[in-house]
């Protein structure tokens, strides 16, 4: 998103918490995310990383985020001009920005009671724009007329330049299935044990499952129960993960049951799967039913091996269907939609984010 904003000649500065053992040099971040059009990157110290405390993880995470947001807003707002726009996904950042008159864009990807409370506190704030990732998520909040008017729905997107031309679809490995994504979601394993055990069953011997993602300790745990036709590749860069997608015939959307996964998610991987020419096997959640471009999606019942096998075999008998509407879900188009929305509200495009 930052790179595509910068491609529109908008000055972008990315500010995020510096914690853990990650390499925070600009060159490391640019290499990992395959950034070509560079933008300013500013890591700020994280004085209380939540994963340093073994107990009360939920409370420590909230406290950690609260303190970092308080510190960061105070530091950043001392040296920011009025024409700069602030864009964040952190609700505490939004909370501490409430007294400022700058245009604020809040990307909301998940329902929470804290989000709902903050929206109520800021119900009359004219300079706040909320971006939701699907309509179910937008409707889950009790928005004031002011915030509802200022809000918009922008689905997740794919980065088009990371993909090869569609001719590569003919070079795919038949019967290769990929799952790409973090192996933990809100500290749960996304039902991947079910997926691995399903591929051990009779009738799927000729299919190959490749699981891409981390963290490493979960990879090692899952390797212990994997069959001969399952391969865990660990965490890969965006570019290498996409190469794996392009080599496959099918992609999987799967999650543990939760309000977020069943109603509110808009998976980036869904749009990347489609751009890579994959037929998509998705758990039959309402959030997945509401995804756009349904030509290549096959649903299966949650944690039901027979249903998954039936969906996979049905998909194997069908060709991939190209849909020109997919181009509307690139990050470049997403940025254009956001700028158009801001221009309608403000009467001009924001010069700086």
Percent of the chain with pLDDT over 70: 90
Asked whether residue 144 carries a pLDDT value surpassing 60, the answer given is yes
In this structure, are residues 205 and 182 in contact, taking their beta carbons and an 8 Å threshold? no
Tens-digit pLDDT profile for residues 119-128: 999 999 999 9
- The rounded distance, in Å, linking the Cα atoms of 353 and 15 is 11
- The rounded distance, in Å, linking the Cα atoms of 334 and 213 is 25
Asked whether residue 160 carries a pLDDT value surpassing 90, the answer given is yes
Reported residue count of the chain is 353
- The rounded distance, in Å, linking the Cα atoms of 120 and 180 is 36
Helix axes 238-247, 268-275, angle to 10 degrees: 50
195: left (phi over 0), alpha (psi -120 to 50) or beta: alpha
Tens-digit pLDDT profile for residues 55-105: 566 677 788 889 999 999 999 999 899 889 999 999 999 999 999 999 999
Tens-digit pLDDT profile for residues 191-207: 899 999 999 999 999 99
Q: What is the pLDDT of residue 48?
A: 66
Three-state DSSP class for residue 266 = coil
Lowest mean pLDDT among 48-52, 183-187, 334-338, 349-353: 349-353
192 burial (CB, 10 Å; 0-12 / 13-18 / 19+) is buried
In this structure, are residues 6 and 39 in contact, taking their beta carbons and an 8 Å threshold? yes
Domains of the chain from N-terminus onward: 2-158+330-346 (3.40.50.2000), 160-321 (3.40.50.2000)
Tens-digit pLDDT profile for residues 6-48: 999 899 999 988 876 666 677 788 887 888 888 898 888 876 6
Rg over CA atoms, the chain: 21
Sign of CA pseudo-dihedral 92, 98, 103, 106: positive
| Closest residue by Cα to residue 299 from 210, 232, 290 | 290
3-state helix, strand, coil in the chain (%, to 5): 40, 20, 40
């Amino acid at each position: 998103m930052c790179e595509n904003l910068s491609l529109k000649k908008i000055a972008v500065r990315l500010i995020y918490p510096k914690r853990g053992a990650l390499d925070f040099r600009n060159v490391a971040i640019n290499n990992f995310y395959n950034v070509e059009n560079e933008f300013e990157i500013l890591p700020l110290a994280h004085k209380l990383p939540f994963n340093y405390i073994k107990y009360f993880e939920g409370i420590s995470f909230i406290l950690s985020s609260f303190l970092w947001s308080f510190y960061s807003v105070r530091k950043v707002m001392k040296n920011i001009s009025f024409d700069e726009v602030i864009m964040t996904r952190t609700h505490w950042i939004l909370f501490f920005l409430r007294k400022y008159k700058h245009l604020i864009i809040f990307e909301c990807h998940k329902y929470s009671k804290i989000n709902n409370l903050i929206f109520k506190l800021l119900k009359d704030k004219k300079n706040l724009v909320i971006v939701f990732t699907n309509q179910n998520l937008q409707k889950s909040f009790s928005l004031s007329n002011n915030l509802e008017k200022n809000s918009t729905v922008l689905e997740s997107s794919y980065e088009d330049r990371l993909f090869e031309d569609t001719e590569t679809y003919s070079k795919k490995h038949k019967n290769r299935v990929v799952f790409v994504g973090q192996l933990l979601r809100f500290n749960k394993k996304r039902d991947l044990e079910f997926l691995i055990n399903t591929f051990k069953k009779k009738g799927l011997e000729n299919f190959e499952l490749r699981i891409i993602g981390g963290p490493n300790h979960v990879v090692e745990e899952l390797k212990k129960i994997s069959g001969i036709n399952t391969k865990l590749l660990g965490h890969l860069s965006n570019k290498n993960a996409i190469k794996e997608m392009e080599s496959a015939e099918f992609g999987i959307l799967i999650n543990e049951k939760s309000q977020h996964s069943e109603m509110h998610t808009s998976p980036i991987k869904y749009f990347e799967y489609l751009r890579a020419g994959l037929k998509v096997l998705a758990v039959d959640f309402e959030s997945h039913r509401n995804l756009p471009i349904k030509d290549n999606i096959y649903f299966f019942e949650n944690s039901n091996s027979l249903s998954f096998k039936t969906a996979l075999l049905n998909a194997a008998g069908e060709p991939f269907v190209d849909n020109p509407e997919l181009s509307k879900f690139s990050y470049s188009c997403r940025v254009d939609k956001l700028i158009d929305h801001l221009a309608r509200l403000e009467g001009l495009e924001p010069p700086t984010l």
